[in-house]
Amino acid sequence: MDYNIAVLPGDGIGPEIVEQAIKVLKAIGNKKGHTFNFTYGAVGAAAIDQEGDPFPAGTLQLCMKSDAVLFGAIGDPKYDNDPKARVRPEQGLLAMRKQLGLYANIRPVTTFSSLIHKSPLRKDLVEGADFVVIRELTGGIYFGDKGRSEDLNTAFDNCVYTRSEIERILELGFEYAAKRNKRLTVVDKANVLATSRLWRETAQDMTPSHPEIEVDYMFVDNAAMQIIQWPKKFDVMVTENMFGDILSDEASVITGSLGLLPSASVGIHTSVFEPIHGSYPQAAGKDIANPIATILSAAMMLEIALDLTSEAQAIRDVVERSMSEGVVTEDIAEGKSFKTSEVGDWLAANL
């Protein structure tokens, strides 16, 4: 089979880690008889430098006609340090989500036995933790009306959700729970926020249609606490945009390294697969960044977007082997460390 993949390396370490994922995809393609056609597009600070737009029309068109999108990272210090910058790399990420209809971010949180000791939590708390955070991605406070008063001393950000937006993301949550351990946790702040009350009402209305799923509700502050106290109690968690942004980052650290976790943004037009970490500009060009999260994102792409389940599992298996054998970058190495490119080469060769 032939598949068309849009590749958006982005900023910082993005090009280096995406290059390793492409090595692995080519290797699994050769092994299983698939051809991946990679076409590159600009996004983020790189796109601003080239075209003055963090998500140019050409990149949008490329994504729309592709079977899936493999994305690196966005962000550059020259914009972070300029609060008055008119155009920012992160605007490209929001534009991509909106224009591609990327309504759901899916972040699996899994632990690797060889790295349990690097978790900030005790081994008995984190060993065996395996859950998924599903975050609504195109609504809420990030996309509501915002502004400042004329004297600049007052600012506002409106949080808005419609029932249809909530139903769409909750249905995905029910689907994932049905494939896993049939438990769904809906996270909100319904004791304070009107939007959260709509979330909870909608979930309660939908629950009778999914009698096989055990549904519970949790305020976001309680969820933040319980992720740390009892991470193994969760199966599938679904929540709104800002809460999901915070909770998924919190959950990610229990595995021991941000460099290990992939994500998928499921869309109406196509889906985007990316590591959860940022552009890490301090490491850019040094061949030291951990490519594992991007490679596991490529595995998610194979499974979710292309329905290549066995190929995805083969990549996960060889990643597990690389970590157990110590073929890892300096951020998680115990002794000898390997370069970003060396890890990619080893994984491709051992597929």
- Provide the annotated active-site residues: 142, 189, 221, 245, 249
Q: What are phi and psi of 11, to 5 degrees?
A: -115, 170
3-state secondary structure 95-119: HHHHHCCEEEEEEEEECCHHHHHHC
Q: Say if strands 102-110 and 2-10 run parallel, antiparallel, or are unpaired.
A: unpaired
- Exposed (0-12), middle (13-18) or buried (19+): which is 192, by Cβ within 10 Å? exposed
**Phi/psi of residue 255, each to 5°?**
-80, -15
C-alpha–C-alpha distance, residues 124 and 67, integer Å? 41
Strand order through the sheet with 272-275: 35-40, 2-10, 68-73, 272-275, 262-267, 102-110, 130-136, 236-239, 183-188, 214-219
DSSP-based three-state secondary structure for 214: strand
The span from the CA of 2 to the CA of 24, in Å, is: 16
Query: How large is the C-alpha radius of gyration of the chain?
Result: 20
Question: Phi and psi (nearest 5°) for 225?
Answer: -70, -45
The helix (run of H) or strand (run of E) holding residue 274 is: strand 272-275
